[in-house]
Amino acid sequence: MVSETVLAIDIGGTKIAAAVVDAEGTVLTEQLRPTPASEDAEVVFEAVESAVRGLLADLLAGQDRIRVGISTAGPIDSPTGTISPVNIGAWRGFAISARVHQVIASANGDGAVRVALAGDGHCFALGEHWLGAARDVDSMIGLVLSTGVGGGAVLNNRLFTGTTGNAVHLGHISVNAWGPRCVCGGHGCTEMYARGPALVAAARRLGWVGGDDARALTAAARAGDEIAVGVIDHGMRALAAGIATTATELDVAVVVLGGGVSRAGEVIFNPLRRHLLDFAVLGHVADLEVRAATLETAGLLGAAALAFSQE
Ligand SMILES: [Zn+2]
């Protein structure tokens, strides 16, 4: 018997990946397309459709039921299968689930097609829980630190989606009720202090001229630059407060941190862990662990896990 496979689709702001994945998490075949993010809605979808069509023959071989998982930037509305990703301006209320369903159903005759949709932070958490840094625990928080701050949680071995699919929105919880207004409309959100561009902007305000991105800033911190060390410390304190709040609320003891900024390693993890001691103070989170992500493609593999989780 041919082992069951699913279709995983990871729609990012710069690239679209679609893959046939088996139950062990092995990517059997993959199609990549650049994301034409500045084009109109249909042009963006054509890139998704073309990637999916490139996999249909492999996907339909030996199985009549097709399960699909889609990872995309939020906000999403999972009950209706529509998305308005922050990094793809042309898609507002775009019916991605129905459109992908249509492409596959038209090729699958009478076979059943099931499509599940989740935010990229949720898929990151699912991927790291299934095959990555948190595969030994039942409950975990996944956190992506890059140009934004995203997240998701697996609780008792199930993705915690919330009502609309936007649960555990770690970038936009307030860690400073008197802080400046955030782009989301709130005040003092974690993302305002901890995201890569915010760290760089803070360093520049203090006179740092060592570069224009977080990679340069973390490299400077590693070399001992006092401004770089200071702003990262400040940002990681804000992030630590947000992580501790979330972990305390959800009663979770393992956080997996990934994303571009986190790849700088100990210059990020050290201050984050130190500040966590100040906020994760209740007994059930006193041993809160922050682990580095281990998967290169957690979002894609998380989309596969999402697909497998469907009946
Ligand atoms: Zn916000």
**Tens digit of pLDDT for each residue in 221-244?**
999 999 999 999 999 999 999 999
304 CA to centre of ligand 1 in angstroms: 29
Alpha carbon of 86 to ligand 1 centroid (Å): 13
Distance 56 CA to ligand 1 centre (A): 40
How many whole angstroms from 186 Cα to the centroid of ligand 1?
Answer: 5
Could you tell me the distance, in angstroms and rounded to a whole number, from the CA of residue 184 to the centre of ligand 1?
A: 4
pLDDT tens for each residue of 63-72? 878 999 999 9
Q: Taking all residues of the chain, what is their mean pLDDT, rounded to a whole number?
A: 96
* Beta-carbon count within 10 A of 216 CB: 15
Strands 254-258 and 289-292: parallel
Ligand 1 geometric centre to CA of 50 (Å):
35
Distance 191 CA to ligand 1 centre (A): 7
What is the CA(55)–ligand 1 centre distance, in A? 38
Alpha-carbon distances, residue 66 vs 8, 49, 61, 293, 310 (angstroms): 11, 16, 10, 29, 10
Closest CA to 48 of 61, 64, 31: 31
**Which residues does residue 21 pair with via DSSP β-bridges, in sequence order?**
6, 27
The tokens of 20 are what? Answer: 């046939």
The yes-or-no answer to whether 5-122+298-308 and 136-292 have a common fold is yes
Contact (CB, 8 A) for 8 and 19: yes
Tokens of 164: 């609309």
pLDDT tens per residue across span 49-95 = 999 999 999 888 878 789 999 999 999 999 999 999 999 999 999 99
**What's the pLDDT score for residue 38?**
87
Distance 270 CA to ligand 1 centre (A): 25
Measured in angstroms, how far is the CA atom of residue 185 from the centroid of ligand 1? 6
pLDDT average, residue stretch 21-32: 97
How do the domains of the chain map onto residue ranges?
Answer: 5-122+298-308, 136-292
* Topology of the domain comprising 5-122+298-308: Nucleotidyltransferase; domain 5 (3.30.420)
Residue 109 is predicted with a pLDDT of 80
CA 241 to centroid of ligand 1, rounded, Å: 15
Expressed in angstroms and rounded, the spacing between residue 123 Cα and the centre of ligand 1 is: 21
* Band (37; pLDDT cuts 50, 70, 90): confident
Torsion angle, CA of 222/226/228/229, rounded to 10 degrees?
70
Query: How much is the pTM?
Result: 0.96
11-39 mean pLDDT: 96
| Cβ count near 183 (within 10 Å) | 11
Q: Kindly give the distance from the C-alpha atom of residue 196 to the centroid of ligand 1, in angstroms, as a whole number.
A: 15
The secondary structure of residue 257, as a DSSP letter, is: E
Q: How far apart are CA 232 and CA 301, in angstroms?
A: 30
Q: What is the 190 CA–ligand 1 centroid distance (Å)?
A: 7
Centre of ligand 1 from the C-alpha of residue 74, in Å: 13
Tell me the CA–centroid distance for residue 147 and ligand 1, in Å: 13
pLDDT exceeds cutoff 80 at 3: no
State residue 1's pLDDT score.
44
- pLDDT tens profile 191-219: 999 999 999 999 999 999 999 999 999 99
Nearest 5°: phi and psi at 32?
-120, 140
Distance 20 CA to ligand 1 centre (A): 35
pLDDT grade for 34, boundaries at 50, 70 and 90: very high
Superfamily for the 136-292 domain:
ATPase, nucleotide binding domain (3.30.420.40)
Confidence category of residue 287, pLDDT binned at 50, 70, 90: very high
Asked if the model's pLDDT at residue 249 lies above 80, the reply is: yes
Summarize the confidence of residues 181-187 as an average pLDDT.
95
Rounded to the nearest angstrom, the distance between the alpha carbon of 309 and the centre of ligand 1 is 31
Q: What is the mean pLDDT of residues 180-200?
A: 96
CA separation, residue 126 to residues 105, 135, 293, 307 (Å):
26, 10, 12, 11
Tens of pLDDT, residue by residue over 108-126, are 887 899 999 999 999 999 9
192 CA → ligand 1 middle, Å: 7
Cα-to-centroid distance, 308 and ligand 1 (Å): 32
180 CA → ligand 1 middle, Å: 10
Please give the distance, rounded to the nearest whole angstrom, from the Cα atom of residue 255 to the centre of ligand 1: 21
pLDDT confidence bin for 2, thresholds 50/70/90: low
- The confidence score (pLDDT) of residue 60 equals 85
Interval between CA 189 and ligand 1 midpoint (Å): 5
